[in-house]
Amino acid sequence: MTSTHSGELASQYAQLVKQEDDYVDQLVTCNKLILDAMDIIAKRAGVLHMDTVKQAAYHLHTMEQDLNRKLFEVRLEKSILAHHMSQST
C-alpha cells in the first residue's frame, strides 16, 4: 500500500472524527432543548396550546432520532476505515 493511499485513509478518518464530534455536539444541544421543552410543559401546560406544544416536541424528537442515525452511520464508517487502516500497516 502506498503512503499516498495511507494518507488518504488518515484524511478520511480525520474527517469522520470531525463529523462525529459535530453530531455529538448537535445531539447534546437537541437533548438540552428537549429537556427544556419538557420543563416548560410541566410548568406552563395550562396556558399553552397543547397541540402546538406536542407538535414542537415531536419535531425535536424526530431531529434527535435523525442525528442519532447520522452519528451511527459515521461511527460505522469510522470502524470500517479503521479496519482498512490496520490492514495497510
Q: Could you report the per-residue pLDDT of 9-54, keeping only the tens digit for each?
A: 999 999 999 999 999 999 999 999 999 999 988 998 889 898 998 8
Q: Name the packing angle between helices 50-87 and 3-44 (round to 10°).
A: 160
Number of domains in the chain: 1
A 10 A CB-CB count for 16 gives 20
Model confidence, pTM: 0.84
- For the chain, the straight-line distance linking the first and the last C-alpha, in angstroms and rounded, comes to 8
Question: 71: domain range?
Answer: 3-87
Q: Which long-range contacts (CB under 8 A, 24 or more apart) does 47-52 make?
A: none
φ, ψ of residue 37 to 5 degrees: the values are: -60, -45
